[in-house]
């Protein structure tokens, strides 16, 4: 009994001592063993960015977002702007392979052109991250929108809006050579296969061009004034589609669904004005943050380029009248550049 009490006393004293000693230990600080190698893995590395072109909301947004995340870590961020020229893009990628940056961030103009080059780059030990528009070659990472899902969701919304109406819809595609356009069309077809009552009165390519989209839509609306919905493939082009609907006096009667990067002027404000009924946003700032995150992860992992492959499909933000006013639905390029 006496022994037990003594033991208890010793334990209590030990605990007390520990309680006094603990803060003293904490004041010493504890080294987190992984941050230093992380910093070393990133500092002085070069990340090369090859979009299809600069000067539009998506690529400017990605650039600003990645730069903001990576430059403070001492990463050199380089840009090669092919300005819509596929050949110039392929040349940029080729010359980059010999310059050996640590990471290449590639925005493909189509599925085939860069595919072989990207494979060569990864064989040379360069991590390749493909963004928003992928190629036939699967590289270390893909970060971007799931176009099939966009086609499906837009079409589902249009089909729903058409219930009890004429069931006539039109499709305004982008450029035929673009994977984004072809994949979106597949998504549209997936939904239409389930809805045989829907009649597609027009499915034409407007080459991402607002004026062409407007011309096509005007003609289609004159032929089918009872049209109940339009699936558009990009908001920058569908501003023309919406203008045609508005001129025909059918705003609100024809459901216009489209998709885009969610920049405020191009997305939220047009939904607010009634031009678009649904704009699926792939939220460029979040995409940019995911791209930067992937770059950090890859560089600090030390994994061999091409040995691991994964995808990060973007969670879409459906912008409708309900959330178009919200501060978080859209983003401003000027804020991202700060």
Partner 1 sequence: MKRFRFNQQEIVFAVFAVLFLAFSIFLRGFLTPENMLTLLQNVAVLGILGLAMALVVIGRGIDISLIAALAVPPGLVLQMVQNGHSLPASLLTAVLLTIAFGLVNGWLIAYAEVPSLFATLATGLLLAGLGQAALFQLDVVQWSDGMQGFERLGQGTILGVPTSIVMFAIACVVVAFLLRQTRWGAYIYAIGDNPYAARVTGIPSRPIIVLQYVVAAQIGCFAGLVMAASVNSMPTRVFNSTLIYDVILVVVLGGIGLSGGRGGVLNVIIGTLLIGTMLNGMTIMDISYAGQNLVKGVVLLLAVITDSFLNPRNEETAQQGDI
Residues 264-283 within binding reach of partner 1 (CB under 8 A)? 265-266, 269, 275
Any contact of residue 64 with partner 1 (CB under 8 A)? Answer: no
**SS3 at position 269:** helix
Which CB sits closer to partner 1, 202 or 287?
A: 202
Smallest distance from partner 1 to CB 278, Å: 19
Q: Which stretch binds partner 1 (CB under 8 A): 17-25, 42-50, 87-95, 243-251?
A: 243-251
- The residue within the footprint of partner 1, chosen from 145, 179, 191, 220 (CB under 8 A), is 220
Half-sphere exposure of 152 (CA within 13 A, CB side): 11
**SS3 at position 98:** helix
Residue labelled with tokens 């190698």 = 37
- The residue within the footprint of partner 1, chosen from 41, 79, 243, 289 (CB under 8 A), is 243
Which CB sits closer to partner 1, 132 or 202?
A: 202
Residues 17-46 within binding reach of partner 1 (CB under 8 A)? none
Q: Which stretch binds partner 1 (CB under 8 A): 48-56, 68-76, 93-101, 121-129?
A: 48-56
Which CB sits closer to partner 1, 127 or 234?
A: 234
DSSP codes joined into one string, 113-153: TTHHHHHHHHHTT-EEEEESS--SS--SEEEE--HHHHHHH
- From CA 278, how far away is CA 291, in angstroms rounded? 26
Q: Which stretch binds partner 1 (CB under 8 A): 20-28, 103-111, 233-241, 251-259?
A: 233-241
Smallest distance from partner 1 to CB 190, Å: 20
- From CA 160, how far away is CA 168, in angstroms rounded? 12
Smallest distance from partner 1 to CB 102, Å: 29
User: How many CB atoms lie under 10 A from the CB of residue 182?
Assistant: 18
Any contact of residue 83 with partner 1 (CB under 8 A)? Answer: yes
Which CB sits closer to partner 1, 140 or 241?
A: 241
Any contact of residue 133 with partner 1 (CB under 8 A)? Answer: no
Q: Which stretch binds partner 1 (CB under 8 A): 49-57, 72-80, 147-155, 317-325?
A: 49-57
Q: With the C-alpha atoms ordered 91, 307, 142, 74, is the resulting torsion angle positive or negative? A: negative
**SS3 at position 44:** coil
Residues 186-215 within binding reach of partner 1 (CB under 8 A)? 201-205, 207, 209-211, 214-215
**The three-state (H, E, C) secondary structure of 63-85, written as one string:** HHHHHHHHHHHCCEEEECCCCCC
- The DSSP output letter for 328 is T
H helices within 171-266, ranges in order? 179-194, 210-223, 235-247
Any contact of residue 300 with partner 1 (CB under 8 A)? Answer: no
Rounded to 10°, the helix 235-247/210-223 angle is: 40
- Would you give the distance in Å from CA 328 to the centre of its chain? 16
By CB under 8 A, name the binding residues for partner 1: 53, 55-57, 60, 83-84, 176, 201-205, 207, 209-211, 214-216, 218-220, 222-223, 236, 239-240, 242-243, 246-247, 263, 265-266, 269, 275, 333
């Amino acid at each position: 009994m006496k022994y037990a009490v003594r033991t208890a006393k010793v334990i209590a004293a030990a605990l007390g001592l520990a309680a006094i000693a603990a803060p003293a230990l904490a004041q010493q600080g504890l080294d987190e063993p992984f941050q230093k190698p992380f910093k070393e893995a990133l500092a002085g590395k070069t990340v090369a960015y090859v979009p299809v072109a600069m000067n539009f909301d998506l690529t400017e947004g990605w650039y600003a977002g990645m730069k903001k995340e990576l430059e403070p870590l001492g990463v050199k961020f380089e840009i090669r702007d092919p300005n819509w020229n596929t050949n110039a893009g392929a040349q940029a990628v080729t010359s980059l392979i010999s310059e050996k940056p640590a990471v290449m961030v590639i925005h493909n103009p189509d599925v085939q052109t860069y595919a072989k080059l990207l494979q060569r780059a990864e064989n040379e030990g360069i991590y390749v991250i493909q963004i928003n528009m992928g190629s036939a070659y699967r590289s270390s990472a893909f970060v971007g929108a799931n176009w099939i899902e966009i086609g499906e969701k837009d079409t589902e919304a249009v089909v729903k809006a058409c219930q009890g109406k004429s069931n006539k819809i039109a499709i305004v595609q982008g450029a035929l050579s673009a994977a984004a356009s072809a994949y979106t069309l597949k998504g549209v077809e997936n939904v239409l296969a389930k809805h045989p009552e829907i009649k597609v009165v027009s499915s034409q390519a407007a080459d991402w061009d607002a004026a062409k989209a407007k011309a096509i839509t005007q003609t289609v609306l004159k032929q089918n004034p009872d049209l109940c919905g339009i699936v558009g493939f990009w908001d920058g082009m569908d501003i023309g589609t919406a203008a045609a609907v508005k001129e025909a006096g059918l705003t609100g009667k024809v459901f216009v669904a489209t998709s885009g990067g969610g920049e405020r002027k191009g997305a939220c404000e047009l939904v607010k004005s009634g031009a678009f009924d649904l704009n699926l946003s792939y939220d460029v700032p979040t995409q940019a943050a995911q791209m930067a995150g992937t770059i950090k992860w890859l560089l600090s992992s030390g994994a061999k380029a091409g040995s691991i492959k994964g995808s990060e499909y973007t969670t879409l933000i459906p912008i409708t009248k309900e959330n178009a006013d919200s501060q978080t639905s859209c983003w401003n390029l000027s804020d991202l550049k700060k």
